[in-house]
Chains A and B, each alone.
Chain A
Amino acid sequence: MEVIKKKILLEKYISRQRERYGSFTTSNIDVQIYLTQSYEDTGLYSNASYSPYSDNYRGEYKLEREDVLVPRNFDPLIHGRHPLINKDRYDNEPTNVVGMMDDRYLNSVGSYQIDENNKPLYQPNLNMSNDIKKSYNGVLSVDDNQIRYVIGGQPYSDGQLLKPNTGVMFTTNFNEIIEDFYSGREWKETIFSHNMGGLRTTENGGLPPNTGLYAIYQREEFLDTIETPKVRDEVFIKRGVEDIFERHAIMSEIKTRNDIDEYRDGYF
């Protein structure tokens, strides 16, 4: 325990005026203190399924709804599980991500038909993914100026129709050509967007949950054990600025041969 020593002169708080001579000028003597918290690693947690709150539960120790107060300003995402908080309160608000990239994914949505120039024809509402029951890669609309398509969307059970707000939406403008002066590469301007981010513990807009709500507990053998964060990025935004040592520096992040393929979505 820290011990702080301080000397206070009472004279500073005693009146020398005629009306209140010798009495305190204040009811409190204020001093500032600084409190700190020492925190140590609490290690890894395990999770287990749990039974949510039920009014019909019968047991010797029954948690009565009227005896439970939800703390004021309770935020499920911060304060964890609470018996009287519904699961949907743990869902994130949808977020919208917009960015610009090259047109590399355009090849993934082209049909097997080709035109007179040997270029693939783009057929709207045709799912071109490898497994049409699991994902949707296809064109939504196309004209002479631009094409709108989706990568990684979720299909309905027939594999043909796209569930709304799923996958990454791309818009490629045929007439806007962007050139990289360093590499000499050219591509068509492509804008991507995704507006259904965040965690879902319940079905939302036809989308299945992508996370679950569990009871977490500590297994003592995992104390002092932490897991280093891993990066698995599908989208890498090249900003056109590159440190001369960057290629060498990121080589240190490559640990396995698989990393060479996966790192920054094929950077190498």
Chain B
Amino acid sequence: MAVGNYGTVRPADVSVDDVEIYYTKNDGNSVSELFKIPDPTEVLTKVDNPENPGQIFGGLYTLSLPTNIFGGKGVYSIIIRPKQFTATIVDCGVLNINNDVLGIVLDRNEIPSNLWSNNLVGYRVEYLKLDPATGEEKKISNTFRVITSNNLASVVPDPTNGSNESTYGFNDSSSLMFCTLTPSSAPSVRPNITPYIGTAGQTVIISSTCFNPIMMEIEMVEHDDETLAYALYGNQSKSLEDGIYTIYNFENSIYRQYNLYEVKNQFTGSPLYEIRQERGNIDFGKDFDDISV
């Protein structure tokens, strides 16, 4: 037997059903509250391997930002993280025969069926605690455990168990699930002190770790160097008859349109100002292909 460890970073192939997406918007003056995208499958799609259609490429996903939400100017902070669900600890116990193996017991009704029989391995457990002052459950900061195994189990009599904890044996007919956690074992120097793994009746938040969460800071802008180049290097026209000044983009479509006029002294008729005013009502008669020769 060799002692060592290993690790790797792999492209995630998580199902988009197991993803949660949140966002805030900073419009330049304030940051909005945190919103949740109700159905992540509508905005996130996997990318298939071009050589094997239907097979996920791995790691690469397309995030389709709906313009009715993300179409305005501003900085959007989009958080993409693994899905979470809450469950209640039914009991804490030890394993039959191996009484030094501690675990929490969950009710399978709160666990998706595809996560039974060791498919919760690697999931993170975080704990909530009732705040007597407010009567609300609050998350315990900086405390988490990682599930290392989970199997359906039921309480079994075990006369060898000297602790006050219930003893559980693996049983597929039971709707309870025994989950071992890490860290959960006592240090060798203080064998009676075990790390906190939760208490019966406590609510826990269980999170998948099937990909590393990311935050995208997307700035939606109205102008960049290309739109400035329209104004500098794009085609332009100035209608001498009605004073409409038009700037075209590089496809010769109307990008902006302005009214040019002078403000004169009403008594003397002398010019006071030259005005360039953006038009909201575009005059499409100034289409570049129509007026140029």
Contact = CB atoms under 8 A, between A and B. Distances in A.
A107 interface: no
A177 B219 CA distance: 78
Interface string B233-251: 0000000000000000101
Contacts of A79: 114, 117, 119
Contacts of A28: 43, 64-67
Contact of A41 (B5, B149, B151): B5
A64 B149 CA distance: 23
A97 interface: no
B170 A42 contact: no
User: Which bucket holds chain B's interface residue count?
Assistant: 35 or more
A27 B172 contact: no
A239 interface: no
A53 B173 contact: yes
Contacts of B227: 9, 11
B152 to A, nearest CB: 6
B170 A35 contact: no
Given A35-B14, A61-B154, A218-B148, A51 B173 contact: yes
Given A4-B216, A9-B221, A63 B108 contact: yes
Interface in B87-108: 90, 95-98, 101, 107-108
Contacts of A51: 169-173
A82 B117 contact: yes
B253 A16 contact: yes
A23 B273 CA distance: 33
B9 interface: yes
Interface residues of A, number: 73
Contact of B171 (A32, A50, A69): A50
Contacts of B149: 45, 216-218
Contacts of B216: 3-6, 31, 33
Interface in A1-22: 1-11, 13, 16-18, 21
A139 B164 CA distance: 63
Interface string B139-180: 000000000110110100000000000000111111110101
Given A80-B119, A217-B180, A29 B65 contact: yes
B261 interface: no
A106 B41 CA distance: 64
Given A27-B67, A29-B64, A225-B3, A42 B148 contact: yes
Contacts of A38: 7-9, 212
A182 interface: no
25 contacts: A4-B214, A7-B219, A10-B220, A13-B67, A21-B282, A27-B68, A28-B65, A32-B61, A33-B61, A34-B11, A34-B59, A35-B11, A35-B14, A35-B59, A37-B9, A38-B9, A50-B151, A51-B172, A53-B173, A62-B174, A63-B152, A63-B175, A81-B116, A218-B121, A220-B184
State the 10 A-B residue pairs at the shortest beta-carbon distance, nearest first. A218-B148, A57-B173, A50-B170, A16-B253, A28-B64, A215-B170, A217-B149, A35-B12, A83-B172, A71-B114
Interface of A: 1-11, 13, 16-18, 21, 24, 26-42, 45-46, 48-54, 57, 59, 61-64, 67-71, 74, 79-83, 215-221, 223-228
